[in-house]
Amino acid sequence: MSGANKQGGLLSTLAGKITTLTAVVVALSGLVIAIKNFPSIWDGGKPAASAQNDCIEPYRWRLAVEGDHVCVTNDTFLAVLQDNQRAASRRNPNGGPYGADTCISGYVFRDAFPGDRICVEPSTRYAVMVDNQQGPFRKKQ
């Protein structure tokens, strides 16, 4: 019986190690993809050629999230990066009506896309609304 217990323990340990290894590989794969697709901010935020293919000059994709192809100015793109980086500091640590996503006083949801819960100043949300409306007119025909 002790042989069966050892074997069961070995299999459960092996299964745990395989599960952990799989999780690490998946996480690293996601990190590699994210780094590969992360816009370069070291060159002043100059968009890569592929990041502006369907936007007319001087516009580029906003990229509030992957796949956000609303055409905006480079300054707006850089502001979006900054807003995304500051997201946690603009949430109410005690939660509120929107749970953990509740913004601290003076901030509102950006609403760049359905479900966007990044907290920004009200003027930024208004600018995002304008960009969403104007975005299609900033694309190559």
pTM, two decimal places: 0.62
Directed axis angle between helix 74-85 and helix 122-134, to 10°?
A: 130
| Per-residue pLDDT at 141 | 84
Are residue 33 and residue 93 in the same domain, yes or no?
no
pLDDT tens digit at each of 141 positions of the chain: 555 555 555 556 776 676 666 666 555 544 444 444 444 333 344 445 454 479 999 999 999 999 999 999 999 999 999 999 999 999 999 999 999 999 999 999 999 999 999 999 999 999 999 999 999 999 998
| Per-residue pLDDT at 117 | 96
- In total, how many domains does the chain have? 2
Are residue 96 and residue 134 in the same domain, yes or no?
yes
**Domain span holding position 98:** 43-138
8, 27, 45, 60, 82 from 38: Cα distances, Å: 44, 16, 11, 14, 14
| Per-residue pLDDT at 53 | 75
Contact predicate 65/111, CB 8 Å: no
Are residue 81 and residue 114 in the same domain, yes or no?
yes
- 116 is written with which tokens? 């966007």
